[in-house]
Structure 1
């Protein structure tokens, strides 16, 4: 049952402390290939990011995001002092905003508009990427999947603003 938009809880859930900031962008060119870091990217509505292997998917997972603040937690849980965003296979690392608050909400990065669709659970590849227990180290810290509502471009340092 949807939340009454006038309820105190709905108002609390709609209030974010500030905009987020894009810290890293990566693309997966093909299955089992390393992520490629980039400074800017184009998002295609209903599809994905240009240069990413998921660009022709259903759109529900057109982009994946993870919070920068969760990277140290994942590193500690996986006992990995050398954790890099590319290992986690998410497209965008964002700081300063709780991504879970964007589930079922629209947000803008650069000139593109997105809608959070679901939490981004880790995949079995995290065992190889992070070592034994890597899958569980990411549970609860996997980030957010989003569909691309309006295409556009964005880059490093751009703000992520809830709409």
Structure 2
């Protein structure tokens, strides 16, 4: 099997575990059961003011990494997703394998994964000493909204062919 074939082999279906919106800059994220994605813009209710064509319209993080980050910080419980400042938490798929691919969330929304979402210095503030380094390699991904619609916690997440 070639590398191209291996990279193209993603038969798993993930699950949208959590949705968070930031009403204003530096405020805590609000967990919501559903959100509306605007095509080529943002999640409605999220403060992000992104221009059409922007590569960071939505941020995603791997659900399984919440436990890993907590372990690096010596915490007994997984880190709450809102503390990482990402919009969507996905389980069951290796998000890094989706870089430069398109994924469908539920029946309507299609995202194009545009790159890695590296931690910022706020992670020291949010997670305490070592928070920045604990999140390195586990910060998730950024995406552009190719087709908008409604997202719901529990929605399947599938790789688009």
| TM-score scaled by length of structure 1 | 0.92
> What is the Cα-based RMSD across aligned positions, in Å?
1.3
Distance 2:51 2:31 in 1: 21
Unaligned runs of 5+ in 2: none
Give the equivalent residue in structure 1 for 2:9: 15
Q: What are the Cα deviations for residues 87-128 of structure 1, in whole angstroms up to 9, with x where unaligned?
A: 111111110000011111111102111100001101111001
Which of 93, 96, 100 is the equivalent residue of 1:97? 93
- 1:28-39 matches, cutoff 5 A: 28-39=22-33
Give the 3-state SS of the residue equivalent to 2:61 in structure 1: strand
- 1:1-163 matches, cutoff 5 A: 8-57=2-51, 59-82=54-77, 83-110=79-106, 111-163=108-160
Unaligned runs of 5+ in 1: 1-6
Give the equivalent residue in structure 2 for 1:4: none
Distance 2:101 2:50 in 1: 22
Give the 3-state SS of the residue equivalent to 2:59 in structure 1: strand
**Number of matched residues?**
157
Q: Is the 8 A contact 1:80 1:130 kept in 2?
A: no
| TM-score scaled by length of structure 2 | 0.93
